[in-house]
Structure 1
Amino acid sequence: MAVTPSDIALAHRLADAAGAAIRPLFRAEFGLEIKPDETPVTRADREAEAAMRRILAAEVPRDGIAGEEYGIEEGSSGRQWVLDPIDGTRAFIAGRPIFGTLIALTEGGWPVLGVIDQPILKERWIGVAGRPTEFNGRPAATRRCRDLADALLGTTSPAAFDDAQLHAFEHLDAAVRSTVLGGDCYNYACLASGHLDVVVEANLKLHDFAALVPVVEGAGGRMCDWAGDPLHAGSVGEVIAAGDPARIDDILDLLACRGH
């Protein structure tokens, strides 16, 4: 089933609703709590996801939902909306507008539509399988990178890697021009607009990466796991994004050096 104009319009409405819930709580009293997995959550996370779920329940009741804060609701259509109301909650807490709302539509576990929305800066990237990615309604494009030695690499935090993953990442880090830390989903948005060349992360969940795939690939980049395989609902959460697909093999070669 192809993505329809009504699916795209619905994705925009979801992002609008999430943003309306988030903006009043940014740099305000947001009600911080720590979840059992030791990660932070705020009223903004919960209220944004709840707002999106209400719209989905009313408009596409047969579609499934998988959200970071309220779990999975099974559907009967073979489609699932994957929601991360605030990807980068630590940045939100710190008053830094480099978090984002992630909205994906998957069919059979494969991402076919993705939105990265930064509600404070009012920046929105939307990618649809088979179509060019748009940034605030205009085409977005990655940049070419002739050699990894010229590349700007992004990752949220080396603390997210286990020992073997960190060892592999250090090989890549040593091969690039420069590495920037922090950014969560905003790194992938910057890559889709030609400001970063590579993003590498590990131990992500489906709600962390599903929306990123259509955005990056529709802008001319490529995403895969650390084995070079496409990302889908069953992926383990080791993620590579390259603005120039020609650099994927170089990245994979370096990341293969776990424990060596």
Structure 2
Amino acid sequence: MAYEREMTIVAEIARAAGDLAVKIRQGNIGIEIKEDESPVTVADKACEKLIVEQLSAAFPEDGLLGEEGAMREGTNGRRWIIDPIDGTRDFIRGTRAWSMLIGLEEEGKIVAGHAYYPGYQEMYSAAKGVGAFHDGKRIRCGSPKTKAEALLCCNGLGFMHRYGFAGELVDWISKFWTVRSMGGCLDAVMVASGVADVWIEAQAKPWDLAPLKIIAEEAGCVTFDFKGVDTIYGGNFAIAPPSLADEIKEFLAKG
């Protein structure tokens, strides 16, 4: 199986980081506010340190990019993109909607990744050409024919005013079957699993997206930024089934 070694090792690393975060959560999590006004905790930093150390030991030639500052140039065209705790606000508040996100970028393309949810003890994973899985069981996206049949996950509402479609957003959303948001990292895998159908995220960094992109793609979804470009570097993101992708792209392109 392609990337079998990477998938096995990274699953273990993600679970170890999850165990560490849960342990830290039982004590003082030491909240700080970063320059971009987002929160960071002792757990974010400790989990990134653990992930970086274990990835470096297993794949010493690979590069690294982490939300909490990890950065290393690789020598082989590969780079691990890490969000040690995606959903830090949820982690702080004690919900279960947070995860460890670890994605592998190879020559600029995301080819493998894991999203581990310690609160649920559930793992989502994917590798290029292999498929997407939830705890080892193959997952596929849904195939709604229209928005009226689709469940939309809409994240980052506080940033939607920046886009040209903002004035039409409420009316557009009302055309969906229903709207829910459990938090970005959960929304994305819900779409990949066919539980939800469309995810739009108004503000995102590469580490928020890397493994979610490959999981969604291998589950049959189409992924793109608000300009319709297939990238995790556009500052925003969307996931949709092929049946609705063009319609979603057309609306978001108004931004």
**Under TM normalisation by the shorter chain, which class is it?**
over 0.9
> Would you say 1:200 and 2:204 are equivalent positions?
no
Distance 1:250 1:185, change over 3 A: same
Q: CA deviation at 1:230?
A: 1.4
Distance 1:171 1:106, change over 3 A: farther
Q: Specify the code of the residue in structure 2 equivalent to 1:238.
A: N
Instruction: Tell me how far apart the structure 2 counterparts of residues 60 and 168 of structure 1 sit (CA, whole Å).
Output: 47
Q: Specify the code of the residue in structure 1 equivalent to 2:88.
A: T
Instruction: Tell me how far apart the structure 2 counterparts of residues 163 and 56 of structure 1 sit (CA, whole Å).
Output: 37
2:113 corresponds to: 114
Q: CA deviation at 1:226?
A: 2.1
> Would you say 1:188 and 2:188 are equivalent positions?
yes
> Would you say 1:223 and 2:220 are equivalent positions?
no
Q: CA deviation at 1:171?
A: 5.2
Instruction: Determine if contact 1:3/1:113 at 8 Å carries over to the other structure.
Output: no
2:249 corresponds to: 252
Distance 1:130 1:67, change over 3 A: same
2:100 corresponds to: 101
Instruction: Tell me how far apart the structure 1 counterparts of residues 119 and 142 of structure 2 sit (CA, whole Å).
Output: 26
Instruction: Determine if contact 2:153/2:200 at 8 Å carries over to the other structure.
Output: yes
CA deviation profile, 1:7-37 (whole Å, cap 9, x unmatched): 1112212212211211112354211111121
Mean alpha-carbon deviation: is it higher for 87-96 or for 218-227?
Answer: 218-227
CA RMSD of aligned residues (A): 1.8
Q: How does 1:38-117 map to 2 (within 5 A)?
A: 38-117=37-116
Unaligned segments of structure 1, at least 5 residues: none
CA deviation profile, 1:236-259 (whole Å, cap 9, x unmatched): 1221101x211001111222334x
Mean alpha-carbon deviation: is it higher for 158-167 or for 178-187?
Answer: 158-167
TM-score, structure 2 normalization: 0.93
Q: CA deviation at 1:229?
A: 2.3
Q: CA deviation at 1:183?
A: 0.9
Distance 1:138 1:113, change over 3 A: same
Instruction: Tell me how far apart the structure 2 counterparts of residues 182 and 237 of structure 1 sit (CA, whole Å).
Output: 20
Q: CA deviation at 1:170?
A: 3.8
Aligned length: 254
Q: Quick one: percent identity of the two aligned structures?
A: 31
1:31 corresponds to: 30
Unaligned segments of structure 2, at least 5 residues: none
Instruction: Determine if contact 2:3/2:127 at 8 Å carries over to the other structure.
Output: no
Instruction: Tell me how far apart the structure 2 counterparts of residues 105 and 61 of structure 1 sit (CA, whole Å).
Output: 14
2:212 corresponds to: 212
TM-score, structure 1 normalization: 0.91
Q: How does 1:145-156 map to 2 (within 5 A)?
A: 145-156=144-155
